């Protein structure tokens, strides 16, 4: 009877791992789509700048590209959230210095040597409204 229990536990564990892999791949696919949206926002801003310069209008007023900047910031925050979820699911953490993946229990990044905080602190989200586009002199 214990043999069947072991087989049942093994199948259950394999099923859970498969669910985790599917979820990680779904998050990675979302990140690719979000990165494509970011690239598109950059293209729109570049086109606006090009048209302004070729027409002699000078630098773009921040109001003209503010919506693009806000959208980029939102997408980057969503990508970061997805990366954190991926790290939690795969028992790895992301090195902010070099971008490498490191085992969750590591205190140092093996690629670049940067240290990780021992205690997890809540990450503050950057919202588009918290960023000012006006230059302060």
DSSP 26-58: HHHHHHHHHHHHHHHHHHHHHHHHHHHHHTT--
C-beta of residue 23 within 8 angstroms of C-beta of residue 12: no
Nearest alpha carbon to residue 90 among 33, 19, 34: 19
Angle at 19 between CA 17 and CA 23, to 5 degrees: 115
The DSSP H or E segment spanning 127 is: none
pTM of this prediction? 0.63
User: At 67, is the pLDDT very low, low, confident or very high (cuts 50, 70, 90)?
Assistant: very high
Mean local confidence (pLDDT), 85-114: 85
User: At 35, is the pLDDT very low, low, confident or very high (cuts 50, 70, 90)?
Assistant: very high
Q: How far apart are CA 105 and CA 135, in angstroms?
A: 42
Q: How far apart are CA 57 and CA 45, in angstroms?
A: 15
Residue 29 has pLDDT above 70, yes or no: yes
Give me the pLDDT at residue 135, please: 47
């Amino acid at each position: 009877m214990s043999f069947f229990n072991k087989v049942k536990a093994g199948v259950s564990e394999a099923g859970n791992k498969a669910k985790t892999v599917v979820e990680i791949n779904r998050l990675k696919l979302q990140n690719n789509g979000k990165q494509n949206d970011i690239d598109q926002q950059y293209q729109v801003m570049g086109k606006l700048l090009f048209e302004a310069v070729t027409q002699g209008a000078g630098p773009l007023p921040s109001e003209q590209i503010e919506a693009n900047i806000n959208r980029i910031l939102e997408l980057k925050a969503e990508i970061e959230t997805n990366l954190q979820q991926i790290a939690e699911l795969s028992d790895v953490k992301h090195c902010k210095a070099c971008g490498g993946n490191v085992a969750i229990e590591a205190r140092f990044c093996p690629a670049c040597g940067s240290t990780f905080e021992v205690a997890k602190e809540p990450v503050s989200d950057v919202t588009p409204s918290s960023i000012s586009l006006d230059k302060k002199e």
